[in-house]
Amino acid sequence: MSKLLELLDVRAGQGTDSWIGAASGPAGKRAYGGQFVAQSLAAAVRTVGEDRPPTNMHLQFLRGGEAGDDVEYSVARVFDGRTASARRVDSRQGDRLLTTATVSFATALAGPQHGRRPQLPQDPETLPQTGPAGPAPSMPLDELDIRIADDGVGDAFVRRFWWRATVALPDNPLLHTLLAAYVTDVYMIDPALQVHGHSMRARTHRSGTTDSSIWFHRPVRADEWNLLETVSPAAARGRGVVTGSLIRADGVIAATVTQEGLIADRA
């Protein structure tokens, strides 16, 4: 079984609506934030019917996690209505609360639709394989093809992050959504530093995600090329905000992503 699929296959814990997520990497390394996003979503999904896929998710990072340890996820069934559901998910390692999230689900309804890019900026196949834009996080990078093509400087900086899974994936739309949620945290806060000529790779500042939000619009295929295009509209008080669109290879916007992160000067 691939490491990516293992990480997203949460198993039942000891209590009601308790789930266990597999460890992401070697002991002594900081856990990758996207693991908490995807595993929190995977745990919440286990408590909702298949007729209502996720519509949005908001997660706060409270403490860093240990990559070598499993994570326990506790799901609270906040609301179940005729067409919508809401869940709260807390993650812990031992007695340490690491993240807290809210997830909304809803059945699909008829209504106006928009959100398509008429032309994508480049063909990812023509770009070199780059990997993430910072020190390798505790994630199976050998199962992902990542190609970064940045554009502009200062306030005009745009991060174009192409990615796809390189392992065989089952034809399960929810799994592909989980993989998209997992990947979108790969140094997404970096553009807030890039606006000022810095980067997470250079480690010139204390940096890391503090809050992540995703709105799911349409299905996505994680084994096909997807573009995460992000910019940073504002930063102050040692925090920066980055907003982005997850765009499929056919130009359809599959999700909207926003993150707040720490970008503080080192003492």
Query: What's the average pLDDT block by block, 10 residues per block, for the chain (267 residues)?
Result: 92 96 92 97 96 97 96 98 98 98 97 93 95 88 96 97 97 97 94 95 90 97 98 98 97 98 92
Q: Domain count of the chain?
A: 1
Per the domain annotation, does 83 fall within a domain? yes
**Between the CA of residue 238 and those of 22, 91, 131, 193, what are the distances in Å?**
32, 26, 27, 11
Residue type for 223, please? D
| pLDDT given at position 12 | 96
How many CA atoms lie within 13 Å of 261's alpha carbon, on the beta-carbon side? 24
| pLDDT given at position 129 | 93
CATH number at residue 208: 2.40.160.210
Per the domain annotation, does 161 fall within a domain? yes
Per the domain annotation, does 112 fall within a domain? no
Cβ-defined contacts of 80-86 (< 8 Å, 24+): 83/52, 83/107, 83/109, 84/52, 85/48, 85/49, 85/52
| pLDDT given at position 203 | 86
Per the domain annotation, does 163 fall within a domain? yes
Number of Cβ atoms within 10 Å of the Cβ of 250: 12
CB 183 within 8 A of CB 26: no
CB 89 within 8 A of CB 101: yes
CB 219 within 8 A of CB 179: no
**Between the CA of residue 65 and those of 7, 91, 138, 145, what are the distances in Å?**
15, 10, 11, 25
Q: Give the distance from CA 234 to its chain's centroid.
A: 20
| Domain span including residue 249 | 3-107+126-265
**Between the CA of residue 191 and those of 95, 119, 134, what are the distances in Å?**
34, 23, 12
| pLDDT given at position 25 | 86
**Residue 202: partners with Cβ closer than 8 Å, 6 or more residues away:** none
For helices 173-183 and 33-45, the axis angle rounded to 10 degrees is 150
Per the domain annotation, does 203 fall within a domain? yes
CB 195 within 8 A of CB 232: yes
| pLDDT given at position 176 | 97
Per the domain annotation, does 116 fall within a domain? no
What torsion, rounded to 10 degrees, do the Cα atoms 239, 243, 246, 250 define? -150
Per the domain annotation, does 118 fall within a domain? no
pTM, entire model = 0.96
CA angle 129, 188, 44 (to 5 degrees): 110
The DSSP bridge partners found for residue 139 are none
